[in-house]
């Protein structure tokens, strides 16, 4: 019996489980293999939809499904919290006291927001990384009648890199529709020396900030919030005031991977950029080729330390590579075919407001060349959002 255990029921974990089950269908049928997903809630949420709750275009209940309904019938689901990954014993220990032994392990534990690490965040700042926070932001926007809206970022990396820019552009459009744009100052604080991490996307986005009259400030990552004065203080010790603050909260990887010795304090799992095998923790300065890989542990999606977008679209393209690697190990062969090596492929939509959007498609060797924003790409994102449940988790696209 070959036991495949997948930690996390998000995009990466769900899709990987379904693809592995498909590849090992004959072995599973003979009782020679078993695929198990462990998820803390047993619920699958479509996180890109949270932004649309904040923008008033989505209802929270439409963004959640039972994980069981998305999994292949040959995949077992365990709803429990992972307490420890014991690499030496090839065992995952759960909060219930149960232990799952594995031959192949997939870490798809995602990322988590940690707003509590910033004083006054919950009191002063809004964000859109949970359904509840998005609904709260929506109420704040509904009540807004003019003043200064400040949009900033409290650390890199964070989930869905385009999202803060998209929100800025969408809020600008909404305020113009409501007749409030002339009464509002919109300011965007970028923590780096350009509008977006990828230069070609920044070149596309920067003129949009100018056209919309959104003040773009560079090298202005938010370090702290002074609630009484209603100002944020940046890494460069500069102050920016606000009436309504939207701040991307600090992010970390899952605590359990750090506690299990598989990741540093950040929680981002060291991962081979091509095989997606987990790398053993190494001392600073060690050459990558000298770092050992765990032959039977893989990571994907937000959980990794790869220099890629932390987004479902990344996990979407990584899952086939992990599934091929896992299946090949179970079947006693080498990974083969178009999914033998990950090329860094990512593809996602980018909203720019006014019913327009564009698309970002890139890999390790080819930066994105976003087409001029138009209504077609905006409609493409709407269609993708509506068809997600029937396509991505089940491996149909």
Same domain for 64 and 30? yes
Is 285 contained in some domain? Answer: yes
Whether the CB-CB separation of 244 and 148 falls below 8 Å is answered with yes
Same domain for 102 and 36? yes
Mean pLDDT of the chain: 97
Same domain for 76 and 120? no
The 10s digit of each residue's pLDDT in 378-394 is 999 999 999 999 999 98
Q: Residues with Cβ < 8 Å from 163, sequence gap 6 or more?
A: 51, 128, 248
Same domain for 122 and 233? yes
Is 211 contained in some domain? Answer: yes
pLDDT at 353: 95
Same domain for 237 and 121? yes
The 10s digit of each residue's pLDDT in 158-187 is 999 999 999 999 999 999 999 999 999 999
pLDDT at 268: 98
Is 380 contained in some domain? Answer: no
**Residues 331, 340: Cα–Cα separation, whole Å:** 14
Kindly report the pTM of this predicted structure.
0.96
Whether the CB-CB separation of 253 and 267 falls below 8 Å is answered with yes
Same domain for 134 and 227? yes
Structure tokens at 355: 């019913």
pLDDT at 366: 96
- Using DSSP's 3-state secondary structure scheme, residue 66 falls into strand
Region of residue 353 (phi > 0: left; psi between -120 and 50: alpha; otherwise: beta) = left
Is 347 contained in some domain? Answer: no
Is 308 contained in some domain? Answer: yes
Same domain for 74 and 15? yes
- Using DSSP's 3-state secondary structure scheme, residue 331 falls into helix
CATH number for 65:
3.50.50.60
Same domain for 284 and 235? no
Last residue of a domain, one of 250, 283, 305: 250
pLDDT at 357: 97
pLDDT at 382: 93
Same domain for 220 and 160? yes
The 10s digit of each residue's pLDDT in 104-140 is 999 999 999 999 999 999 999 999 999 999 999 999 9
The 10s digit of each residue's pLDDT in 283-309 is 888 999 999 999 999 999 999 999 999
Strands 222-226 and 231-234: antiparallel
- Does position 396 have pLDDT exceeding 90, yes or no? no
- Residue 190 domain boundaries: 114-250
Last residue of a domain, one of 292, 315, 339: 339
Same domain for 99 and 227? no
The 10s digit of each residue's pLDDT in 69-102 is 999 999 999 999 999 999 999 999 999 999 999 9
The rounded radius of gyration (Å) of the Cα atoms in the chain is 22
Q: Residues with Cβ < 8 Å from 124, sequence gap 6 or more?
A: 225, 227, 230, 245
- The edge-to-edge listing of strands for the beta sheet with 2-7 is 75-79, 33-39, 2-7, 104-107, 293-299, 277-279
Same domain for 324 and 286? yes
Whether the CB-CB separation of 298 and 123 falls below 8 Å is answered with no
Last residue of a domain, one of 339, 364, 380: 339
Is 50 contained in some domain? Answer: yes
Is 391 contained in some domain? Answer: no
Is 272 contained in some domain? Answer: yes
The 10s digit of each residue's pLDDT in 20-59 is 999 999 999 999 999 999 999 999 999 999 999 999 999 9
Structure tokens at 47: 């996180």
Same domain for 209 and 137? yes
The 10s digit of each residue's pLDDT in 137-156 is 999 999 999 999 999 999 99
């Amino acid at each position: 019996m070959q036991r495949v255990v997948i930690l996390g029921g998000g995009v990466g974990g769900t899709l990987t489980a379904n693809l592995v089950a498909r590849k090992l269908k004959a072995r599973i049928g003979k009782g020679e293999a078993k695929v198990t997903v462990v998820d803390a809630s047993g619920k699958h949420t479509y996180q890109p939809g949270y932004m649309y709750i904040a923008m008033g275009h989505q209802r929270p209940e439409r963004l959640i499904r039972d994980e069981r309904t998305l999994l292949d019938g040959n995949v077992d689901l365990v709803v429990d919290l992972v307490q420890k990954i014991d690499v030496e014993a090839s065992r995952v220990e759960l909060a219930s006291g149960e232990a799952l032994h594995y031959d192949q392990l997939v870490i798809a534990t995602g990322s988590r927001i940690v707003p509590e690490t910033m004083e006054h965040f919950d009191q002063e700042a809004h964000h859109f990384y949970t359904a509840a926070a998005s609904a709260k932001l929506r109420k704040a926007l509904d009540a807004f009648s003019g003043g200064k809206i400040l949009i900033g970022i409290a650390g890199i990396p964070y989930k869905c890199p385009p999202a803060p820019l998209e929100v800025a552009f969408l809020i600008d459009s909404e305020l113009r529709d409501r007749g409030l744009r002339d009464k509002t100052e919109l300011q965007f604080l970028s923590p780096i020396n350009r509008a977006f991490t990828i230069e070609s996307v920044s070149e596309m986005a920067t003129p949009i900030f100018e056209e919309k009259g959104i003040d773009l400030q560079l090298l202005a990552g938010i370090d702290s919030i002074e609630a009484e004065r209603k100002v944020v203080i940046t890494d460069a010790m500069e102050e920016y005031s606000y009436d309504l603050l939207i701040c991307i909260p600090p992010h970390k990887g899952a605590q359990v991977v750090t506690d299990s010795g598989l990741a540093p304090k950040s929680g981002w799992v060291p991962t081979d950029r091509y095989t997606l095998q987990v790398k053993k923790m190494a001392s600073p300065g060690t050459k990558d080729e000298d770092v050992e890989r765990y032959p039977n542990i893989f990571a994907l999606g937000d959980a990794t330390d790869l220099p890629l977008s932390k987004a479902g679209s990344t996990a979407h393209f990584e899952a086939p590579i992990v599934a091929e690697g896992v299946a090949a190990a179970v079947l006693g062969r080498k990974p083969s075919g178009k999914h033998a090596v990950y090329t860094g492929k990512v593809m996602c939509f980018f909203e720019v407001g006014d019913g327009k959007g564009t698309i970002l498609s890139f890999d390790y060797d080819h930066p994105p060349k976003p087409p001029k924003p138009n209504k077609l790409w905006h409609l493409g994102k709407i269609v993708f959002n509506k068809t997600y449940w029937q396509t991505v988790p089940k491996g149909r696209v």
